[in-house]
Structure formats: structure tokens, C-alpha cells
Amino acid sequence: MSGAVLFEGKSTPREMSTRYRLFRRAMILLCRFLFGYTLHGGERVPSEGPLVVASNHSQYADPVLVCVAVPRRLQWMAKKQLFGFPFRKFFEFIGSFPVDREGGGRGAIRAALAFLAEGWALGIFPEGTHRGAGSSREAKSGVIVLAARSGASVLPVHVGRLPGPLSRLRGQRLRIFVGEPIQMDPALRGGSAYREAADEIMRTIYALPQRREPT
């Protein structure tokens, strides 16, 4: 089923729904007030066309924080276990669709390619699940498969840690960094080539905070 059918009457690839736009504005204000939210490189987000938004994933709030940083309606690949009560409605609201990892996720890949073919922005965590400090940063190749097959650019995003109250008193902020869109070679083929390209995407993501502009 295509993305346009799934979200008919709501958001479109070019336009956020009023409800989602208000949600996003409220979250931006909340993040600025509580966490000193600062965005670096937000002007690099393409305003239209298919896009794979690839982010690091170190905390449960990351999907919402990426939605805050990227001014486009995102669709998210999310593991199917998240779609139980009481979170199903929320994940559907932010544009998530289930991925059956045990079943190979082929249906989710087809759905993701359909979204990209219609010009949506697709959110994905190449690491597959959230990683704590010191965890492996091994990337899954799905982000490269989707970009190479669809012709979409990959937008690297790095989400910083949410500072606690004491950290805020010490001046720490929530910082999110957006890199330059990366175009994949459509001729890229083979598992090893996909994994190498995915690892390069992750290196780019984790390097973004070191390359930020002075504030």
C-alpha cells in the first residue's frame, strides 16, 4: 500500500498536517525551554523530494528530536514491537510503520521504497536500535539499499544527549547537527559495498559535532 493511501487526508510529502505542525512547534518550544535546544545546519535540509534522514540513536526520545530538527513530515521505520498498547497511536501519529526484523523486513523495505517514490522523507536509524555510551556503532546496510534503489539523498543527523537539570545549570544544551545531503552511487551493489557505505554514513554522523560552526 502506498504512502499516499496510508496518510490520505493528513500530511503529504510536501505539506505537514495542521495537527503535526502544531505538535512540532510545541516540541520545539519545549526543547528550547527545558534543554536549551540549538540546531546547527538546519538550512541543509532539502525542502522537497525523496530523502533518507539517517541519525544516531542513543536515547528513546531520538525519533521525536529528529522530527523537531527536520522541517518535513517524516515517515519512520520502527520495530513492530513498539506498536502495542499504549504507544501505537503515538508512533502512528509521528509517521511510523512496523518492521518485522525476525521476518527479514522485506515488506517494510517495499513500503519504504513506496514512500520515497512519492517524495516523502524517510527517517531511519542505521544502528538499528538505540545505543548507550560505549556501545558498538555498527551500521545496518538498509539505509544504503533504500538510498541506492530510490535515488534519494541521505541526510546525516547527529542528536546530542538530553541534558539533565544539573547539566543545564552548568550550561549544557541539547544540540542537533545536520550535515550535507549525500548522494549514493546507484551502481552500488553487494553486501560488503553496502556495509562499507553504511559505516561511512555513521562516521559522518558522529563527526558532525566536531565540525559545527561556532555559536
The per-residue pLDDT for range 156-205, each reduced to its tens digit, is 999 999 999 999 999 999 999 999 999 998 888 888 899 999 999 999 99
How many helical (H) and strand (E) elements, i.e. helices and strands, does the chain have? 8, 8
Query: Taking every pair of C-alpha atoms in the chain, what is the biggest distance, in angstroms?
Result: 50
Report how many domains make up the chain. Answer: 1
How many C-beta neighbours within 10 Å does residue 18 have?
A: 10
Model confidence, pTM: 0.84
**What residues make up the domain containing 41?**
3-210
| Whether pLDDT at 54 is above 60 | yes
CA distance 24 to 38: 15
C-alpha distance from residue 117 to each of 49, 66, 98 (Å): 9, 22, 19
Tell me which of 17 and 164 has the higher pLDDT. 164
Predicted confidence band of residue 4 (pLDDT cuts 50, 70, 90): very low
Could you check whether the bond before residue 86 is cis, i.e. omega within 30 degrees of 0?
Answer: yes
CATH number of the domain at 196, please. 3.40.1130.10
- Whether residue 183 is contained in a domain is answered as yes
- Whether residue 215 is contained in a domain is answered as no
CA distance 152 to 134: 31
Phi, psi (deg, nearest 5) at residue 173? -130, 160
